[in-house]
Structure 1
């Protein structure tokens, strides 16, 4: 049975609002000044002239199109990032509704996908994963796990603990072997957050897939002599987490059948 179109419209509108807020997170949370990191103050302003953006000019996607991508006051261009992020997150929430219907799983998919997108973009630009993404996601993930009762809560807590412990251990061993920081604190806390959504099995799959995706990108760079000192591992962990969330159950089932046939 298909999903009611009204629910799809509602999911899309919710996604647009989340995407608009995510734009604020992406632009502010990477700043060093704590005052500039606030997500609520000051209100949105034009990055060129500093004029406050009125509510009618802050409607996701629509306002950017109506103003043709320019500030109403100074006429200077406004980054395409704003409507693109808003549209991508809206599509994400619509896809989640199509896949899972009006369920808790839908909320988990929308929330986790939005946070992973914010983490990936921030880490790719600044080599930084702000705590606000991780702690907020961890609290929401554990909170949503309660909807499955005590077993769901235990799975969420176990996933968070295993995610933190695994990456922390990798960081310790890597630091001992390479004599330098091998795993950032943001990556470690990120995996605690991811674990709350995907469980301990998902943590293992996330780390494996993230390492695989990272290798596919950086091994060719090493061969070509274009090695980068800093690796935004959060980008690849985000990709791995998305894979674990969407395809994890099918992969676990295939793996169990493979072991049974071996």
Structure 2
């Protein structure tokens, strides 16, 4: 879809800034820290990070990935997440134009990235991602009228109920917690964006990806499976390609 280059630049800049904020969420939410105070500092020398050293991607490159004062290496996570969110916002604009659907895609993509990184590192999905995303999904669905809002509510309810049922069955079968509450709340959030059919596809894709990629490794190394990572990947695919995949499946099922 043709989009004014100036608007694409604006989308990129907004995405970069939100990526910088997402890094703060990734670092602080698992520690139950405020997202506002205290200001960001170097973990080694405790020097507050000046505004000129906090420009997304650019500052990391100019500083060559090190603290200006003490030379402590700065994680590559920061520019990677910032650039990724910038790319998400540009891609949303290119795919859907300057529309509410593009805004929904960009916001969901940003939240899913935060969930994926946080769950992959800490085996934790903070409520700020899930409940905050649920509110955004329901609010954006109002633009689609009563039908759009009803679909979002039904999707959220389906996501929560389905994962809750899976968790209960898993706990009964394995006599231990098989799925965290964060995954359950995450699927309620995802459902508000993709609807109930999208929830089913997301869970299927997440389970498939988890089985193919991580489960063999976890069996060898006895690591826990951060299912939220794969649900996030499945949700992203579902949002972009879900309608086409579901249509193909229905066509295949009926042999048409």
TM-based fold match above 0.5: yes
Equivalent residues of 1:218, 1:227 under 8 A apart? no
Q: Say which SS state the counterpart of residue 29 (structure 1) adopts.
A: helix
Equivalent residues of 1:161, 1:195 under 8 A apart? yes
The two structures have a TM-score, normalised by structure 1, of 0.94
Equivalent residues of 1:115, 1:137 under 8 A apart? yes
Instruction: Specify the alignment match of 2:64 in structure 1.
Output: 68
Equivalent residues of 2:215, 2:225 under 8 A apart? no
Instruction: Specify the alignment match of 2:175 in structure 1.
Output: 179
Instruction: Specify the alignment match of 2:157 in structure 1.
Output: 161
Q: Say which SS state the counterpart of residue 30 (structure 2) adopts.
A: coil
How many residue pairs get aligned? The number is 256
Instruction: Specify the alignment match of 2:213 in structure 1.
Output: 217
Q: Distance in 1 between matches of 2:68 and 2:223?
A: 42
Q: Structure 1 segments of 4 or more deviating over 6 A?
A: none
Match of 1:42 among 38, 41, 51: 38
Cα displacement (A) at 1:245? 0.5
The two structures have a TM-score, normalised by structure 2, of 0.96
Instruction: Specify the alignment match of 2:13 in structure 1.
Output: 13
Q: For residues 79-105 of structure 1, give each alpha carbon's deviation from its aligned partner in whole angstroms, at most 9, with x where no partner exists.
A: 221111111111111111110100111
Q: What stretches of structure 1 of length at least 5 have no aligned partner? A: none
Instruction: Specify the alignment match of 1:58 in structure 2.
Output: 54
Q: Is 1:242 paired with 2:241? A: no
Q: Distance in 2 between matches of 1:42 and 1:63?
A: 21
Q: Distance in 2 between matches of 1:47 and 1:84?
A: 19
Instruction: Specify the alignment match of 1:22 in structure 2.
Output: 22
Q: What stretches of structure 2 of length at least 5 have no aligned partner? A: none
Alignment CA distance shift 1:256-1:213 (3 Å): same
Equivalent residues of 1:45, 1:51 under 8 A apart? yes
Q: Say which SS state the counterpart of residue 102 (structure 1) adopts.
A: coil
Q: Is 1:82 paired with 2:78? A: yes
Instruction: Specify the alignment match of 1:254 in structure 2.
Output: 248
